[in-house]
């Protein structure tokens, strides 16, 4: 019995305690809901009371002192910089701070210290008419909602922020491009309020954030600078805040895109100095190819830059590379002219000294070139052909008898320098009797006779030939046959033209000196 009473008392106590606890929890929840509902209604009533009789058309402190408007900027990213359009694109957060006493509830008994409102609320109160003076195109981000924020504190201080992307004009000086440094600005100004109504200041000491972590394509941010000034126009004087970004261009992209290809093309043009000067097709094709390649590179660079009148650093380099390439092509023209002109002069000089016989001129030229390292080899087939020519001439003399003596013996050699012989006093080709003409062809050696176009009647020359004796004619024929063996030899040149020898040293040396001066000068200019 006693145990039953004790158990019953315990159950009654537990039941009473549980009921009391539930009652307390319910009471607290009700109080919280009541407080939340009260705060909600208080905030709604507060906003309604603040906006009651609020005139959005008038600035805070209208009729009194100028309104102080402070600003700070957070750099989100640098998106692009265009030299052609002279602008850059940046995404940033702009925060503006001012005080509107009409929105203060400092004397209100509510415990609300501040209110964060949506950006749409800005359409119901006065906000500054701030704009970017150097803006070309801007847009406000609206994902997922319009990126605007408005916060009001108890004493009427307002923080108004927004996130947007803007393309801003940047006046660039490209004289040192691509070894240049640029200053691009963000210029903030009030559109309608003069300095007598609104004063704009940077929110120092932390007016700009995010510059250290921002990355600019092809540029390195050296630093930034804030400034404020007053701009005077026809409608009054306005406050302007300026944020200047100090940018230095990274030359690495242009090294691989422009400078290195130009250097390789110039070096490729020097290969022609090691090609035989008689390989005309190879050297001319190489020279023209390098010139056209330099033209293509220059065209591509000009398309990525604006059409400006002054000379840029990269223009100087491209022009000098083009000059080196074109000079290598002209060098071959000088080599070719020097080589063949020297041969013609030597041949004509030898012809004059040995009595005007072309064969003698060739023989003298071959002797000089043999001393200079030229290997002459007479094919066996041409020796046989020369012997047949001599035999045929001998038979013709025996058959014709004395009438043959009135003509000079035929030479199997063509006249190589008729005009030059005329200049030095030797008989011109039109004054020589009718010789059989033989044309030499490289490769497998063969000789083809062609009819002469020289008139057969030359009284002056016939009178001279008539006095020659048969023995003299025979001796002359033997000399002509010996000289004819070297008309079209197999040639192997062991020496090169002296111009090519000097060009192999002069061209690379001049190009190295130019690069030293170029990079030294513009590196110093970039540091300034």
All structural domains of the chain: 67-250 (2.70.170.10), 259-337+499-527 (1.20.58.390), 378-387+409-493 (no CATH)
Q: How far apart are CA 148 and CA 140, in angstroms?
A: 9
Instruction: For residue 239, give the nearest of 249, 247, 250, 228 by alpha carbon.
Output: 228
State the pTM of this model: 0.65
Is the pLDDT reported for residue 1 higher than 60? no
Phi, psi of 485, deg, nearest 5:
-65, -20
Cβ distance 432 to 454 under 8 Å?
A: yes
Q: Among 396, 276, 432, 248, which Cα is nearest to 339's?
A: 276
Distances (CA, A) of 311 to 170, 174, 302, 315: 20, 9, 12, 6
Residue 104 contacts by C-beta under 8 Å, 6 or more apart in sequence? 154, 155, 156
Higher-scoring residue by pLDDT: 1, 131 = 131
Pairing of the two strands 67-82 and 148-153: unpaired
pLDDT at residue 195 tops 50: yes
Residue 137 CA: distances (Å) to CA of 88, 91, 168, 505? 11, 12, 7, 56
Q: What value does the mean pLDDT take over residues 380-401?
A: 60
The residue that leads in pLDDT, 163 or 143, is 163
Identify the H or E element spanning 81. strand 67-82
pLDDT digits (tens, 9 = 90+) for 208-247: 999 999 998 889 999 999 999 999 999 999 999 999 999 9
How far apart CA 432 and CA 442 sit, in angstroms, is: 27
Q: Which residues contact 227 (CB under 8 A, 6 or more apart)?
A: 241, 242, 244
pLDDT category, 321, cuts 50, 70, 90?
very high
324 within 8 A of 380, measured Cβ to Cβ = no
Q: Which residue has the higher pLDDT, 277 or 321?
A: 321
Phi/psi of residue 263, each to 5°? Answer: -60, -45
Tell me if 96 sits within 8 A of 74, measured CB to CB.
no
Does position 113 have pLDDT exceeding 70, yes or no?
Answer: yes
Q: Considering only residues 384 and 48, tell me which one the structure prediction assigns the higher pLDDT.
A: 48
Of the candidates 331, 362, 330, 359, the residue with the CA atom closest to the CA atom of residue 346: 362
% pLDDT > 90, the chain? 48
Answer yes or no: is pLDDT of 291 > 60.
yes
How many helices and strands in the chain, by DSSP H and E? Answer: 11, 16
CA trace torsion 408, 412, 418, 424 (10° rounding): -60
Structure tokens at 350: 């030898």
Helix axis angle, 498-527 to 313-353, nearest 10°: 170
More confident: 328 or 386: 328
8 pLDDT above the threshold of 90: no
Q: Are 41 and 49 in contact (CB under 8 A)?
A: no
pLDDT band per the 50, 70, 90 thresholds, residue 258: very high
pLDDT value, residue 443 = 45
């Amino acid at each position: 019995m006693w145990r039953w009473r004790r158990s019953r008392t315990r159950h009654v106590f537990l039941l009473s305690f549980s009921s009391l606890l539930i009652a307390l929890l319910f009471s607290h929840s009700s109080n919280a809901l009541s407080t939340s509902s009260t705060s909600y209604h208080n905030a709604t009533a507060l906003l309604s009371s603040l906006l009651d009789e609020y005139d959005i058309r008038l600035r805070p402190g209208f009729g009194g002192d100028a309104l102080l408007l402070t600003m700070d900027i957070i750099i989100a990213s640098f998106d692009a910089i265009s030299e052609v359009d002279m602008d850059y694109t940046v995404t940033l957060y702009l925060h503006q701070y001012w005080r509107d006493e009409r929105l203060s509830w400092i004397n209100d008994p509510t415990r609300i210290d501040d209110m964060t409102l949506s950006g749409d609320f800005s359409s119901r109160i006065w906000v500054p008419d701030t704009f970017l003076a150097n803006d070309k195109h801007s847009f406000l981000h609206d994902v997922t909602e319009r990126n605007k924020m408005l916060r009001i504190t108890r004493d009427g201080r307002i923080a108004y922020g927004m996130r947007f992307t803007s393309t801003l004009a940047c006046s660039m000086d490209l004289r040192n491009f691509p070894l240049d440094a640029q200053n691009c600005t963000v210029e903030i100004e009030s559109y309608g309020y003069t300095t007598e109504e609104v004063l704009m200041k940077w929110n120092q000491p932390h007016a700009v954030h995010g510059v250290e972590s921002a990355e600019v394509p092809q540029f390195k941010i050296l630093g930034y600078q804030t400034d404020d000034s007053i701009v005077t126009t026809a409608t009054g004087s306005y406050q302007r805040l300026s944020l200047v970004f100090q940018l230095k261009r990274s030359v690495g992209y242009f090294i691989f895109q422009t400078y290195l290809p130009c250097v390789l093309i110039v070096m490729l043009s020097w290969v022609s100095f090691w090609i035989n000067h008689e390989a005309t097709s190879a050297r001319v094709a190489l020279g023209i190819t390098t010139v056209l390649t330099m033209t293509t590179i220059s065209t591509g660079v000009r398309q990525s830059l604006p059409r400006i009148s002054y000379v840029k650093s990269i223009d100087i380099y491209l022009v000098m590379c083009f000059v080196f390439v074109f000079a290598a092509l002209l060098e071959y023209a000088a080599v070719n002219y020097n080589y063949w002109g020297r041969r013609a002069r030597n041949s004509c000089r030898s012809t004059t000294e040995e009595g005007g016989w072309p064969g003698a001129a060739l023989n003298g030229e071959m002797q000089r070139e043999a001393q200079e390292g030229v290997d002459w080899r007479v094919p066996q087939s041409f020796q046989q052909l020369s012997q047949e020519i001599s035999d045929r001439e001998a038979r013709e003399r025996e058959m014709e008898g004395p009438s043959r003596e009135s003509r000079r013996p035929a030479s199997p050699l063509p006249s190589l320098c008729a005009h030059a012989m005329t200049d030095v006093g030797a008989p011109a080709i039109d004054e020589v009797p009718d010789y059989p003409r033989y044309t030499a062809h490289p490769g497998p050696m063969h000789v083809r006779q062609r009819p002469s176009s020289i008139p057969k009647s030359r009284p002056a020359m016939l009178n001279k030939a008539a006095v020659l004796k048969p023995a003299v004619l025979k001796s002359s024929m033997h000399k002509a046959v010996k000289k004819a063996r070297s008309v079209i030899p197999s040639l192997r040149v062991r020496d090169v033209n002296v111009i090519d020898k000097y060009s192999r040293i002069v061209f690379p040396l001049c190009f190295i000196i130019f690069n030293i001066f170029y990079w030294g000068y513009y590196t110093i200019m970039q540091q300034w």
